[in-house]
């Protein structure tokens, strides 16, 4: 279970991200209209969409903090995948709209040169988005939050697209009038790709996608280093939002007693939880190398009870 200070940091990040998106949307709309920059106006529509989706993101972060209960014994963590999916799909819809709008205007010849102060708007937008990306990425890496990670990727996309807007405005002012619209088209394609990546990752999580393979390998190496007498038959893990469920099947000697297996189970749970703090649901099963299968059934029956306790009190506590 994550410390309360980590949850507070995650919640603050979600609030800050939402209100930053609103501030940028209002700022870019006003400056885009006053300067006549179509790229800046198109980017402001994307920012307003960001504000709405990040409000949903904030709600999902709050909901995912609710404790597990009989209806949701593994908690509400996967709601963050739903939020990330909504963000990804919203980005793709907004990007497709921007793309169509600018292609149609460019084809009709309705283009205009933006005023020079639009440059400052694009610079401020790019700098703010990049700072938010770095802050949110730091929070996401520490909390393992899919929703905050999606928001971080969204802000990096905003930073890149703002630079594209900046280039289009400058080139348009210098004489290439169509550059402002071409920049808006480039922004649309970039945002469309980012939305697709976010949506696909969230679908992977909703479909019980595996824990990253290098983390699974790390657990396997941990077992080999500290418990060479135990053979790993099967090791798998799935993402449960910010936390993971790890399922272990181990082969043990028939000479190992029930009490020794109980002690080994507790030790493994504790060690894995220390090394991988996101692994909050750890389930261990034993199979005999040979001989006494009835004893292993007793051990596994007890392990089920222990795992039920872990659902109520995750192994990281």
228 in the same domain as 202 = no
For residue 275, the domain's CATH number is 3.30.70.1350
199 in the same domain as 100 = yes
176 in the same domain as 144 = yes
pLDDT tens for the chain, 317 residues long, are: 455 566 778 788 888 998 898 998 899 888 888 888 877 777 787 787 778 777 877 787 778 778 878 888 777 888 878 888 888 888 888 888 878 877 887 777 666 778 888 888 889 999 999 999 999 999 988 887 877 888 888 888 888 888 888 888 888 888 887 887 787 788 788 778 878 888 898 898 888 778 878 888 888 888 877 776 678 888 888 887 767 788 888 887 767 777 777 888 888 888 888 877 777 778 888 877 765 555 555 555 555 554 444 444 444 43
**DSSP state letters, the chain:** ---HHHHHHHHHHHHHHHHHHHHHHHHHHHHHHHHT-HHHHHHHHHHHHHHHHHHHHHHHHHHHTSPP-SSSTT-STTHHHHHHHHHHHHHHHHHHHHHHHHHHHHHHT---PPPTTHHHHHHHHHHHHHHHHHHHHHHHHHHT-HHHHHHHHHHHHHHHHHHHHHHHHHHHHTT-TTHHHHHHHHHHHHHHHHHHHHHHHHHHHHTTPBPPHHHHHHHHHHHHHH-TTSEEEEEEEEE-SSSEEEEEEEEE-TTS-HHHHHHHHHHHHHHHHHH-TTEEEEEEEEEESSS-HHHHHHHHHHHHHHHHHHHHS-TT-
pLDDT for 301 equals: 52
Q: Are the beta carbons of 24 and 161 closer than 8 angstroms?
A: no
pLDDT for 130 equals: 94
Round to whole Å and give the CA distance between 229 and 165.
61
219 in the same domain as 200 = no
Q: Are the beta carbons of 159 and 129 closer than 8 angstroms?
A: yes
**DSSP state letters, 13-24:** HHHHHHHHHHHH
Q: Are the beta carbons of 31 and 118 closer than 8 angstroms?
A: yes
In a domain, 317, yes or no: no
CA angle 141-150-139, nearest 5°?
30
174 in the same domain as 48 = yes
For residue 102, the domain's CATH number is 1.20.1510.10
185 in the same domain as 42 = yes
* Structural domain of 102: 4-206
Q: Label each residue of 265-302 as H, E or C.
A: HHHHHHHHHHHCCCEEEEEEEEEECCCCHHHHHHHHHH
240 in the same domain as 186 = no
Boundary of a domain, candidates 160, 179, 206: 206
Render pLDDT for 159-187 as a digit per residue (tens, 0 to 9). 888 888 888 888 888 888 788 778 778 87
Boundary of a domain, candidates 143, 173, 206: 206
184 in the same domain as 60 = yes
153 in the same domain as 23 = yes
Render pLDDT for 260-274 as a digit per residue (tens, 0 to 9). 778 888 888 888 888
252 in the same domain as 104 = no
Boundary of a domain, candidates 206, 226, 247: 206
170 in the same domain as 107 = yes
pTM: 0.65
* Pairs from 277-280 (Cβ < 8 Å, separation ≥ 24): 277/2, 277/316, 278/144, 278/242, 278/243, 278/244, 279/219, 279/237, 279/243, 279/244, 279/245, 279/246, 279/315, 279/316, 280/1, 280/240, 280/243, 280/244, 280/245, 280/310, 280/314, 280/315, 280/316
Number of structural domains found in the chain: 2
In a domain, 260, yes or no: yes
283 in the same domain as 230 = yes
Q: Is 225 exposed, middle or buried (0-12, 13-18, 19+ CB in 10 A)?
A: exposed
């Amino acid at each position: 279970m994550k410390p309360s200070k980590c949850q507070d940091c995650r919640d603050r990040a979600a609030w800050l991200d939402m209100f930053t998106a609103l501030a940028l949307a209002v700022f870019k709309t006003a400056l885009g209209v006053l300067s006549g920059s179509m790229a800046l106006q198109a980017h402001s529509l994307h920012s307003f969409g960001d504000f709405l989706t990040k409000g949903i993101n904030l709600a999902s972060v709050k909901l995912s903090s609710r404790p597990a209960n009989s209806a949701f014994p593994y908690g509400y963590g996967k709601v963050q995948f739903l939020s990330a999916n909504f963000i990804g799909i919203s980005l793709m819809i907004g990007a497709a709209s921007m793309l169509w709008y600018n292609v149609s205007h460019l084809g009709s010849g309705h283009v205009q040169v933006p005023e020079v102060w639009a440059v400052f708007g694009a610079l401020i937008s790019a700098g703010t988005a990049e700072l938010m990306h770095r802050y949110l990425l730091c929070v996401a890496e520490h909390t393992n939050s899919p929703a905050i990670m999606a928001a971080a990727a969204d802000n990096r996309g905003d930073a890149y697209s703002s630079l594209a807007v900046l280039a289009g405005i400058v080139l348009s002012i210098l004489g290439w009038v169509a550059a402002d619209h071409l920049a808006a088209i480039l922004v649309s394609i970039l945002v469309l790709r980012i939305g697709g990546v976010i949506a696909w990752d969230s679908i992977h999580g909703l479909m019980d996608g595996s824990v990253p393979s290098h983390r699974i390998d790390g657990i396997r190496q941990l077992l080999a280093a500290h418990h060479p007498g135990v053979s790993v038959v099967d090791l798998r893990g799935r993402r449960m939002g910010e936390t993971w469920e790890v399922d272990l099947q181990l082969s043990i000697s028939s000479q190992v007693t029930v009490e020794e297996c109980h002690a080994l189970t507790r030790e493994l749970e504790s060690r894995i939880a220390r090394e991988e703090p996101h692994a909050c649901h750890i389930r261990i099963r034993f199979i005999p190398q040979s001989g006494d299968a009835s004893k292993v059934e007793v051990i596994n029956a007890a392990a089920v009870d222990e795992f039920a306790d872990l659902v109520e009190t995750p192994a990281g506590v």
